[in-house]
């Protein structure tokens, strides 16, 4: 198939593009290579993809309405995987306009491209952050999600609502995936594992917020990619029951018929205390961390825990990578990429 992957030079987009190429798909990878984090890392990912047959890179921005319309008109995409977004919870407190431009304006351009060119399936990235102040664990796609704690979370919930509207009005098949703390080789430098590894090796203190009382549903990248590919080929149809969220926090959501729209959690389904995560990293590195204890940051969610029962029922998704295995693979990549030796 010919597949558009937005954010192809990003962490998940890179791994997904490589997987799709390996199975024989043609991938058009879109990325604006912005400077939110190390552009050199993005270009290194991109270089690996460009060395593979079947990959075509488009250096442009989602918010360029004319360019996006032309991209869709010139390419008969059979699938679109929309992963590009302005990421980061804390950064949304500093630069809110970037989230509206990329995550809202950019997404409407993707929806319009899919609508006018009759793309058979749009799969887009949402986030566990949409659960916000929800205290019921594990997080279910039927839980209320009307209390976001950051503009990033609000923008991701807006994407879900926008997709629902297009599925309803134009019968555009859409599936949203709420990702839970993805980690692994080629990861983002602003994420905990990358940041902790760099600082531990440099003998710098690592910042641990909420005094280490977080729990996270850390999900290894290979498990994420397997789930994404399975869902990509599982096109929602109008006769399915959509899992619209429950705004009462009591009974399950009332089913809605006739809309080719789905939402799924995609996570490890096994939350890990942050301090256990750090301890495992220390063991793998063979070096103790110096911890800087800090309070809960604005926008942070104390715990995340994915109920993946609906995704498992739909496509048979079940992650199988332990946190220790995942950390070991990340550290091996990190030391190789940055040319460092173990302590």
Contact indicator for 343, 285 with CB cutoff of 8 Å: yes
Among 36, 37, 99, 152, the active-site one is: 152
Identify the segments of the chain with pLDDT beneath 50: 246-255
Contact indicator for 143, 230 with CB cutoff of 8 Å: no
For residue 325, count other CB atoms closer than 10 A to its CB.
Answer: 12
Count CA atoms closer than 13 A to 137's CA, side-chain side.
12
Give the pLDDT score at 104: 97
Partners of residue 81 on adjacent β-strands? 5, 123
Give the pLDDT score at 238: 86
Ramachandran angles phi, psi of 4, nearest 5°: -90, 125
CA distances from 257 to 120, 140, 237, 262, 316 (A): 19, 20, 10, 12, 23
Q: Residue 330 and residue 185: Cα distance in Å, rounded?
A: 5
Q: Residue 12 and residue 316: Cα distance in Å, rounded?
A: 20
Q: Residue 247 and residue 253: Cα distance in Å, rounded?
A: 8
Partners of residue 58 on adjacent β-strands? 30
- In the residue annotation, 152 being an active-site residue is answered as yes
Q: Residue 180 and residue 304: Cα distance in Å, rounded?
A: 7
Q: Which two tokens stand for residue 115?
A: 């609508």
């Amino acid at each position: 198939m010919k597949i558009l992957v937005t954010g192809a030079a990003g962490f998940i987009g890179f791994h997904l593009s490589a997987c799709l190429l390996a199975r024989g798909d043609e991938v058009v990878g879109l990325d604006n290579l912005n400077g939110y984090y190390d552009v050199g890392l993005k270009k290194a990912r991109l270089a690996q993809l460009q060395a593979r047959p079947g990959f075509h890179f488009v250096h442009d921005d989602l918010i360029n309405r004319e360019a996006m319309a032309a991209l869709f008109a010139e390419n008969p995409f059979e699938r679109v995987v929309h992963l590009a977004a302005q990421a980061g919870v804390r950064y949304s407190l500093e630069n809110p306009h970037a989230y509206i431009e990329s995550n809202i304006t950019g997404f409407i351009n993707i929806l319009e491209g899919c609508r006018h060119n009759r793309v058979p399936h749009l799969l887009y990235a949402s986030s566990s952050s949409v659960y916000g102040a929800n205290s019921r664990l594990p997080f279910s796609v039927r839980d209320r999600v009307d209390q976001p704690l950051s503009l990033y979370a609000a923008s991701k919930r807006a994407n879900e609502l926008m997709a629902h509207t297009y599925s309803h009005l134009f019968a555009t098949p859409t599936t949203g995936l709420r990702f839970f703390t993805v980690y692994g080789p080629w990861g983002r430098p602003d994420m905990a594992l990358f940041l902790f590894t760099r600082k531990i090796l440099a003998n710098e203190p690592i910042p641990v917020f909420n005094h280490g009382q977080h729990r996270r549903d850390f999900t290894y990248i290979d498990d994420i990619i397997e789930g994404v590919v399975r869902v990509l080929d599982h096109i929602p149809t109008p006769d399915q029951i959509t899992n619209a969220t429950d705004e009462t926090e009591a009974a399950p959501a009332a089913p809605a018929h006739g809309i080719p729209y789905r939402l799924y959690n995609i996570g490890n389904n096994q939350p890990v205390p942050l301090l256990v995560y750090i301890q495992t990293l220390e063991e793998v590195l063979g070096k103790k961390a110096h911890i800087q204890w800090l309070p809960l940051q604005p926008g942070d969610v104390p715990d995340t825990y994915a109920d993946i029962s609906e995704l498992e029922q739909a496509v048979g998704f079940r992650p199988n990578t332990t946190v220790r295995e995942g950390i070991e693979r990340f550290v091996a990549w990190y030391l190789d990429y940055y040319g460092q030796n173990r302590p």
